[in-house]
Amino acid sequence: MFNFIDLNCPSCGASLQVNDNSQYFACEHCGNKFVLNSKASDLKPAERKKLNPQATYTRQLKQWVKVDAYEICLHEVRDLPRKNFRILAINVEYRNNGDGMLSCRIGQWNLFDQDGYTYQFEYLAEFFTGLPGSRLPGESVIGPEMRVRGWIVFKIPLTATVERLQFLVDLIHYKTVDFFFA
């Protein structure tokens, strides 16, 4: 028999009932899926009120997603074919609703294709021609109640089928959000 724990979705705030032995759950309201560090039954009452999943999986654009202390929104994705390659340009915004400083680095982003290849951000200035706004700075720091927005750009083969874009908080905590495109 299953026992359930009442939680709130870390993305949209909807009320959820999660199997207490599970580390995985999905929100029926926003469609996002989550992986916890431990079973739901092991969460302390304070952790249940303010969930901080190990991983968040989403297919939603224009939705704020919380990952650790970061809140991230993908506003737009543009696929720009060139003669021998494609450019995938993504307009991303960070916001800091916490109390501390956040380091926003383009190195936190990786693009994966369906064949398992990984692509990293490209700095080449000509990729930003025709994009409204500017590229995301290589690194910036934002304080409480601050935001930063810009484009991240990936150069990929014409034949690549993009699967997902991943944001990794850092190499110590391994908290991620994966935006699926396929």
Average pLDDT taken over every residue of the chain? 90
Tens-digit pLDDT profile for residues 20-59: 899 999 999 999 999 999 999 898 988 888 888 999 999 9
How do residues 49-97 score in pLDDT, each as one tens digit?
888 899 999 999 999 999 888 999 999 999 999 999 999 999 999 999 8
Which pLDDT band holds residue 182 (cuts at 50, 70, 90)? Answer: low
Supply 23's token pair: 């580390």
pLDDT at 180: 95
Assign 1 a pLDDT band (cuts: 50, 70, 90): low
Return the residue matching tokens 């970061």: 70
Residue 75 CA neighbour count, 13 Å, CB half? 12
Asked whether the predicted pLDDT for residue 125 surpasses 80, the reply is no
Pair of tokens at residue 122: 């490209």
Q: Output the pTM of the full model.
A: 0.89
3-state secondary structure the chain: CCCEEEEECCCCCCEEEEECCCCEEECCCCCCEEECCCCHHHCCHHHHHCCCCCEEEECCCCCCEEECCEEEEEEEEEEEECCCCEEEEEEEEEECCCCCCEEEEHHHEEEEECCCCEEECCCCHHHHCCCCCCECCCEEEECCCCEEEEEEEEEECCCCCEEEEEEECCCCCCCEEEEECC
Strand-strand pairing, 176-180 and 55-58:
parallel
80-93: b (≥16 Cβ within 10 Å) or e: eeeeeebbbbbbbb
Separation CA 27–CA 96 (nearest Å):
24
CA 39 remoteness from chain centre: 22
